[in-house]
Amino acid sequence: MMFVFKAAVVGAGVMGGEIAQVIAAADIPVILKDVDRRFVDTGLEKAREVTSNQAAKLVEKGKLTQEQSDAQVQRILSNITGATEYDGFGDVDFVIEAVPEKIEIKHEVFADLDAVTPGHAILASNTSGLSITEIADATQRPDNVVGFHFFWPASFMRLIEVIEGDETSPETTQAASTFAQQIKKLPIRAAECPGFVVNRILISTASEIWRYQDETGVPVQEIDDFIREQAQMAMGPFRVADMSGLDTVVKVARDMRDAYGDRFYVHRGMEERLERGELGAKSGKGFYEH
Ligand SMILES: NC(=O)c1ccc[n+]([C@@H]2O[C@H](COP(=O)([O-])OP(=O)(O)OC[C@H]3O[C@@H](n4cnc5c(N)ncnc54)[C@H](O)[C@@H]3O)[C@@H](O)[C@H]2O)c1
């Protein structure tokens, strides 16, 4: 049974910063790497914000004193090291890739990781729906490559889909599930198909909402409010898309339509915003101002 003593996260965007936070909160040292110091700092800031908010809630509930809470924040954040190169990857046990949802970028990163990490290290991808088998092609260790799919916001959502590629070994799948539990998440096994389980269902539902909005022109805010009320959800689907990043959502939706045909739909208003460079929260504007 493999125990993870040190981990790394590659890509410090919408997902990466919070994934590193989750690992650090389980008292496991983690490197957070991106290509530019600016992106690393944004990821570290996200981790700080989540950690502080969680600690503040514990103080509110009377479970920690302010002093204990400050110490907890400091301890958790000291587990995260930012990096723009692969320094420190020589002794990692588990890496989670969270770079943009494009197979060329995934291939580049997995080839790098294959070269810089020890042979036993598990290389996991947070892809929303790309083929794990295809991602693993870029490495000499496809048996150690696995899908490890978090949901936004990663610090809060408990589920992780663990996806086996054609060559993933049973030991790797087992180690990934164990690691998910080590970081206090709930692993579920998902088959390797576009969208796996959760996005296949979520994007299918979203498709109908998007189709309806495009066809009727009903304001997105009205739909968000309605669904929030009716389904008792924290956010409506258009705000969730803004928070997730419209570039990522459109890419995932297009992949689903390409794989399964017309029963999946890509929202035209979302594609138009993307063309104007409006990516949602990460660019400051999407369906909403941020
Ligand atoms: N956004 C979501 O809601 C969500 C949810 C689950 C899974 N995912 C998946 O997670 C992955 C990342 O998504 P995201 O929303 O965090 O994307 P993002 O665009 O917010 O962040 C990606 C980061 O990767 C960095 N990057 C690019 N090339 C790199 C390289 N070679 N080395 C290191 N860093 C590099 C970018 O600079 C950027 O900061 C995608 O595969 C996406 O499908 C996203």
In contact, 165 and 145? CB cutoff 8 Å: yes
Q: How confident is the model at residue 195, as a pLDDT?
A: 94
pTM to 2 decimals? 0.96
Q: How confident is the model at residue 2, as a pLDDT?
A: 78
What are the tens digits of pLDDT across the range 226-256?
Answer: 999 998 889 999 999 999 999 999 999 999 9
For residue 245, give the ligand 1 atom closest to its CA: 1
Q: What b/e string do you get for 204-235 counting C-beta neighbours within 10 Å, with b at 16 or more?
A: eebbebbeebeeeeeebeebbeebeeeeeeee
The amino acid occupying position 110 is F
Q: How confident is the model at residue 27, as a pLDDT?
A: 97
Q: How confident is the model at residue 56, as a pLDDT?
A: 97
- Tell which residue, 115, 109, 95, has the closest CA to residue 19: 95
Residue of the CA atom closest to atom 8 of ligand 1: 128
- Ligand 1: distance of its center to the CA of 16 in Å? 7
Residue of the CA atom closest to atom 31 of ligand 1: 109
The answer on pLDDT for 1 being more than 80 is no
Annotated catalytic residue, options 107, 120, 149, 267: 149
The pLDDT of 103-129, averaged and rounded, is: 97
What are the tens digits of pLDDT across the range 262-279?
Answer: 999 999 999 999 999 999
What are the tens digits of pLDDT across the range 120-146?
Answer: 999 999 999 999 999 999 999 999 999
In contact, 256 and 195? CB cutoff 8 Å: yes
The answer on pLDDT for 150 being more than 90 is yes
Average confidence score pLDDT of the chain: 97
| Mutate-to-test residue for ligand 1 from 34, 135, 151, highest number of ligand atoms within 8 A of CB | 34
Beta-sheet strands, E only, within 16-172: 30-33, 80-83, 94-97, 122-125, 145-149, 159-164
In contact, 220 and 269? CB cutoff 8 Å: yes
| Mutate-to-test residue for ligand 1 from 32, 33, 95, 99, highest number of ligand atoms within 8 A of CB | 99
- Ligand 1: distance of its center to the CA of 97 in Å? 8
- Ligand 1: distance of its center to the CA of 74 in Å? 26
Residue of the CA atom closest to atom 6 of ligand 1: 151
Residue of the CA atom closest to atom 12 of ligand 1: 98
- Ligand 1: distance of its center to the CA of 265 in Å? 23
Q: How confident is the model at residue 231, as a pLDDT?
A: 86
- Ligand 1: distance of its center to the CA of 11 in Å? 5
Residue 124 bridge partners (DSSP): 96, 146
Both tokens of 35, joined, read 């290509």
Q: Give the percent of the chain with pLDDT over 70.
A: 100
Q: How confident is the model at residue 232, as a pLDDT?
A: 86
Q: How confident is the model at residue 221, as a pLDDT?
A: 97
The answer on pLDDT for 217 being more than 90 is yes
Q: Give the percent of the chain with pLDDT over 90.
A: 98
The answer on pLDDT for 210 being more than 90 is yes
What are the tens digits of pLDDT across the range 10-68?
Answer: 999 999 999 999 999 999 999 999 999 999 999 999 999 999 999 999 999 999 999 99
Q: Which residues line ligand 1 (CB under 6 A)?
A: 10-16, 33-35, 39, 98-101, 105, 108-109, 126-128, 150-152, 244-245, 248, 282
Say whether 149 is catalytic: yes
| Mutate-to-test residue for ligand 1 from 9, 33, 128, 132, highest number of ligand atoms within 8 A of CB | 128
Confidence of residue 93 (pLDDT cuts 50, 70, 90): very high
- Ligand 1: distance of its center to the CA of 62 in Å? 36
Residue 161 bridge partners (DSSP): 149, 188
